[in-house]
Structure 1
């Protein structure tokens, strides 16, 4: 008989022990039901929330894997659906642990959980491959071997922008004014997003994106920021401003060249690399 406990949020009873009770065997298949240890006759379906049902089901499945004789691959379709945020880290850690001896495939649209999986994989030095399924020209099913833009680091976004600009170069001069404006506006918008992500990456040693765990002991890595860094960020934001009429230095999508866009990518790459190098070499101050 397998037992587990459903952890409740603050303000609720601390724990609710449950167990799997064998109901019957049919055609060499055993059937179990979830029961409360303290009240086995209660109708669990009327007590548990959808998230608690999902939590128990995941726990039962992962417990069963421990006794499995074969290491076949496993597939999870949005395992965090309906689950409380307090379980994200535990589920991500368990899946990465299972990936040590079997292939684990996870489908998810939850960027927060994606970041949790990535962090846990990095902690365990376990390789992780990303596939991004998206729509293209109103048709679904296009697969890219990379993260979606919203989940990339600033440098990864720069690499994608550089690749896009390189692909556009042969036909850029043949674009109509309207086509050029649409292309340049889109690229400038992506550059703004990349700068915002780069700033988020700078803060990452202390507070990672989509994470609520603060690491005070790494605060010294934020001390590398200088007045020049602030000026560079503000200047870039001015050039990439959405309000083209209020900023004299803003890039004008109707007249911007491909080299202008490549220079903006280079400026961001240089700033990111400078921040990375300085944070890597930052020395933790000694305590008196």
Structure 2
């Protein structure tokens, strides 16, 4: 056996393959706090989907905690059951300081993509188009009927989804079941037909390897995590520059700058993608003026 064969591969790269504002999270925080859509009254709707237990609800709570400046729990989370804890379609608004207004973006949480008892893929497609009303209880056996009271027949622009976010547990990502990959791809194709931008969030990155657990700033230096992201990108088609690793709040009682930095980096790009999409749709809906005057 040669010397190279017994030598383990280094866990950390000499330089991070992606850089973020570790020491200046306030810049990203102010971007999020100051964001305002070009159209008055417009809001960005961000739909989170993915396997059960991946951390969709925890991500929403983590974002709210950062923007409120304290730990906050609104979306209920269960860390025991492997099945989806979210049963109903929920919209989460985040109040601004003073509680007199809300941020111009909302999150939608849905039932997880379980193999046999998860959310019906057609319900996700209806959600993308704005046809699902808040409070609808998901039925894994059948999609929402047009005759149901929770079916929105005339969705407004604010009812429709502007960014689709696939939330993935990085610590248990592989091997991915073929059915799960198929469901994610199916939802992606519908979103692509609607020209909705798509992002992936990798949660629980601190559980991927001890180097990240010891120091979250190593997240972009760990080759094994980058490889997971590249493999997931190859499986479902989401580009690497649209995949963001984060660590949600789940055990802390105080906010931590490094945790905030990763989440804010992801949130900033999600908002930018959604704003670009809305502005593009707005431009395409404007009538063409062929006047020569």
TM-score of Structure 1 vs Structure 2, range by shorter chain: under 0.3
Q: Which has the higher contact order (CA 8 A, sep 6+)?
A: 2
* Higher helix proportion: 1
Structure of larger gyration radius: 1
Report the TM-score, using the length of structure 2 for normalisation. 0.23
Report the TM-score, using the length of structure 1 for normalisation. 0.24
* Higher strand proportion: 1
